[in-house]
Chain A
Amino acid sequence: MALPKENLLQAYRQMKTIREFEDRVHAEIMNGQIAGFTHLYAGQEANAVGICEHLSGEDTIISTHRGHGHCIARGADVIGMMKELWGSSEGLCKGKGGSMHIADIDQGILGANGIVAGGPPISVGAALACKIRENNNVSVSFSGDGSVNQGTCLEAMNMAVVLNVPAVFVIENNYYSEHTSINYAVGTDDLKGRTEGFGFPVFVADGSDFFAVYEAAGKAIEHARSGNGPAGVFCEMGRFHGHFVGDPEGYRSENEVANLRQDSCCLKNFRASVTESGEIDASELDAIDAEVMALIDQAVAEAKVAPRPTPDQVTTDVYVNY
């Protein structure tokens, strides 16, 4: 599946934006600038971008506690996201959601989600709406390897088959549910087979390779969009940071993260691929790097001085009316 140059540049820009956003948020948290629990997506960018490259219009996604990457890939405003992390009333969710609940319904982002496997049933509902309305949209739920052991994920997968809805289950295996390895927590060695046992196809990709993810996602999304019911995408890729910022990461083996950054970096892989093929000149990617850095700098600068919520806002937005 050859992508036009314009799309390649956009994909690179999004992956780079996620990486810089996450690395900068990490630094700002360590500086004491951002409150709360934050789970970073650095290292997994190719997955979010490779999937969302196939989405448009009223297609929806629902994300996880590690949601910044999915939101950026689906088109959330980066400055609004940064302001949200700072708890400003100008944040994407007026400072009421924070890192784990960033959402933008108008962009098709039904929210990051603080509950592991909270999203898949909701995505099935959005997909059911597509079926009832007889449009050809799809709904994608991102989940981690931890979510595959939650009942809600399994209920959602079965229900999606029974109702024959265009739900796409993306499972991002970053090897750990919090501090516990997938080797311990998933009872089967054949998670793909276990999932296909629900009755839908699962396409597997190296999550550090944008092109592999893009291709697998294309097959899954086309399957769902064509009225054939749900499909799955499994991607494997390590996360570069801990489960949360501040995680001492005692579960890592020696040099694990250094090796990941060296050998499994989707940005490096992408750059090598498109420059070696001659599709894109390195200078064009360098220019995007500079623009992304400037955007993240601007986002942080604006977030630092963005207005704080006022006390009366504690009790607004609970209901439409009450």
Chain B
Amino acid sequence: MSQKTMRDAINEALHQAMAADDSVFVIGEDVAGGNGSGGTVGCAGGVFGVTTGLYEKFGPNRCIDTPISESAIVGAAAGAALVGMRPVAEIMFADFIGVCMDQIINQMGKFRYMFGGKCKCPAVIRFSAGAGFSSAAQHSQSMYQVMTAFPGLKVVVPSNAYDAKGLMLTAIADDDPVLFFEPKVLYQEACEVPDEPYTIPFGEAAMVREGDDVTVVAFGQMVGRAAAAIDSLEEAGITCDLIDPRTTSPLDEESILESVEATGRLVVVDESTPRCGLTADIAAMAADKAFHSLKGPIKQVCAPHSPVPFSPDLEAEYLPSVEKIASVIRGTMA
């Protein structure tokens, strides 16, 4: 056990999965880096360094650099998975789903159903996701809220290094296609992460804080902010459950509903946009299934209906802040 960043935790999971199973391989743009150049092959290990060392350890047949061809990358993962491999493809930024959506939703996500349950497609697609790096509108979207809508896909959004490692090992072993969204602002965040392999089941939320007054559900990078907001309310005597579902599909409805039935108040926090969104989805589910437990309106804290801005000043305004989350939680007690 030692302190590891989310980047290193995911990297360790990939190393362990590839060592344990020959059918696991990684594929994507610059997952090795340097191919065909005068420099060193393996120099990149992914644009965020998550696949560092895999080329050196497992060679060119299992750490495969591709052209910038996102549809072909996802398609190659889907096809290899259909014939029994366990590919882990990297799409550098979740925003690039815009150029490979068909292969994700119409192909890999539907094979099993269209083919009458007679196939498996155990592919993992990794994405860096989310705002916070001034990467502007085409490199900052969360996108997991969109992909959650599609049956046949599983969707993972870790909020810390420990969960990221366990969820990645679960994703690789899972027989369904899994989309794995890594909040890029968390790559450098560290926590205690065991050295040995371990798994975290999908559809089981983590209870990050326990309290009596308000249920707060948050995803990805917002889990840390929601925790800080809740901690700031302690002095005011407000205590909250903080639930991190960890996977948006499947969703641990039961943990959310149990908590809402106890507290009677629900605040849902995410950095994605509001329309047809993730916070609205959770709010609707709770309104439908726990209406009579509610003491007041369900509140959503999310991004505005706008693209992610570039300017750090604007981006700070765009993302739900600790203060804003705290204020909304406090508001439910008024």
Contact = CB atoms under 8 A, between A and B. Distances in A.
B79 A121 contact: yes
Contacts of B115: 93, 96-97, 101, 103, 105, 111
A322 B109 CA distance: 13
A139 to B, nearest CB: 7
A158 B76 CA distance: 12
Contact of A152 (B81, B83, B102): B102
A19 interface: no
Contact of A319 (B75, B112, B116): B112
A123 B176 contact: no
B114 A105 contact: no
B71 A318 contact: no
Contact of A96 (B72, B103, B114): B114
Nearest to B62: A132
Contacts of A92: 116
A92 B117 CA distance: 10
A143 B120 CA distance: 24
Contact-residue size bin, chain B (C-beta under 8 Å from the other chain): 35 or more
A153 to B, nearest CB: 10
A93 B85 CA distance: 22
A58 B83 CA distance: 9
Interface string A286-322: 0000000000000000000000000000001111111
Contacts of A97: 114-116
Given A125-B77, A152-B103, A110 B118 contact: no
A320 B71 contact: no
Is the interface on chain A under 10, 10 to 19, 20 to 34, or 35 or more residues?
35 or more
Interface in A57-105: 58, 60, 62, 91-97, 101, 103-105
A101 B109 CA distance: 13
B87 A125 contact: yes
Interface string A101-121: 101111000110111001011
A85 to B, nearest CB: 13
Interface string B67-89: 10101111111111111110100
A193 interface: no
A94 B116 CA distance: 5
B154 A125 contact: no
Contact of A105 (B67, B69, B82, B103): B82
Residue of B27, B71, B75, B81 with most chain A CB atoms under a 10 A cut-off: B75
Given A92-B116, A94-B117, A319-B154, A128 B79 contact: yes
A156 B332 CA distance: 53
Interface of A: 58, 60, 62, 91-97, 101, 103-106, 110-111, 113-115, 118, 120-129, 131-132, 139, 151-152, 155-156, 158-159, 162-163, 316-322
22 contacts: A60-B83, A93-B118, A94-B117, A97-B115, A103-B118, A103-B119, A105-B82, A110-B79, A115-B102, A118-B102, A125-B79, A126-B79, A129-B80, A129-B85, A132-B25, A152-B75, A152-B102, A155-B69, A156-B75, A159-B66, A317-B117, A320-B112
Given A124-B75, A155-B72, 14 more contacts: A60-B83, A96-B113, A118-B103, A121-B71, A122-B107, A124-B79, A125-B79, A128-B64, A151-B71, A152-B72, A152-B103, A162-B67, A317-B112, A320-B174
